[in-house]
């Protein structure tokens, strides 16, 4: 149910960017993103604590995550700062989205080959940087700066830096997953080997 709630919240989050009052829209978008992210955390916590994971949940959870992140990234590129620049740089956004498409395709192929694709530690760091980048960029219209370890840090700039770091980690982990697929998915076959299918089957 929490996974479904995460998906249901996405259209409302997108709608928040089109509100006439930009501050109200920023408040709503940030609040909905935090709620959606919290559902992801508590969904996993409940599943681990009560061993209540279902096939439907395992299937839908990563899809919901990708839908949420992609929607927020696109809207941050669409939305502009007072200086006319997009709230998120286009290049790291494209890198992150294309990597998600790549990895989804690799996972689908490996599933057909009955090969698992384990999540790497670096991928977890990528997810963390990506989350805090989106959090900072969504909060930027509401607060110009935040205090971190006694230092006054510009919220928008911090979000952009973390987004670029996430894009870099995304590129590295995307390559790692691709290499894993080439190594494990083609153990007993030539990569360019063509398998003829009997039309009578």
In the chain, domain spans: 1-79, 84-187
Answer yes or no: are the C-beta atoms of 86 and 78 closer than 8 Å: yes
pLDDT at 5: 87
pTM: predicted TM-score of the whole model, two decimal places: 0.85
DSSP reduced 3-state for 148: strand
| Maximum alpha-carbon separation in the chain | 72
Q: Alpha carbon of 178 to those of 62, 104, 129: distances in Å?
A: 18, 11, 21
CA 13/CA 24 separation, integer angstroms: 12
CA distances from 95 to 10, 77, 131, 174, 181 (A): 21, 13, 16, 10, 20
Q: How far is CA 156 from the centre of its chain?
A: 19
Average pLDDT over all residues of the chain: 86
**85 vs 57, higher pLDDT:** 85
- pLDDT reading at 94 higher than 80: yes
User: Mean per-residue pLDDT for 57-84?
Assistant: 89
| Average pLDDT, integer, range 171-183 | 92
Average pLDDT over residues 75-80: 94
The C-alpha atoms of residue 100 and residue 102 are separated, in whole angstroms, by 5
* Residue 168, pLDDT score: 97
Q: pLDDT value at position 174?
A: 94
Position 199 pLDDT exceeds 90: no
Give pLDDT tens digits for 11-50. 999 999 999 999 999 999 999 999 998 887 776 666 666 6
Among 122, 106, 117, smallest CA distance to 165 is for 122
Closest CA to 186 of 113, 117, 120: 113
128 by Cβ neighbours in 10 Å (0-12 / 13-18 / 19+) ranks as middle
């Amino acid at each position: 149910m929490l996974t479904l709630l995460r998906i249901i919240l996405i259209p409302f989050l997108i709608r928040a960017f089109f509100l006439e009052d930009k501050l109200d829209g920023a408040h709503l978008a940030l609040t909905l993103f935090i709620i959606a992210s919290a559902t992801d955390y508590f969904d996993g916590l409940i599943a681990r604590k009560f061993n209540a994971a279902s096939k439907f949940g395992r299937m839908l959870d990563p899809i919901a995550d990708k839908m949420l992140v992609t929607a927020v990234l696109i809207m941050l590129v669409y939305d502009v700062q007072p200086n006319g620049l997009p709230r998120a740089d286009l290049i790291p956004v494209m890198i992150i989205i294309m990597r998600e498409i790549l990895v989804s395709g690799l996972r689908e192929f490996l599933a057909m080959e009955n090969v698992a694709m384990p999540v790497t530690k670096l991928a977890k760091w990528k997810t963390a940087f990506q989350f805090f980048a989106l959090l900072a960029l969504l909060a930027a219209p509401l607060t110009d700066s935040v205090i971190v370890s006694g230092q006054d840090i510009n919220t928008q700039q911090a979000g952009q830096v973390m987004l670029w770091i996430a894009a870099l980690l995304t590129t590295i982990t995307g390559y790692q997953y691709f290499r894993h697929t080439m190594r494990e998915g083609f153990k007993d076959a030539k990569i360019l080997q063509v398998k003829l299918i009997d039309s009578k089957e």
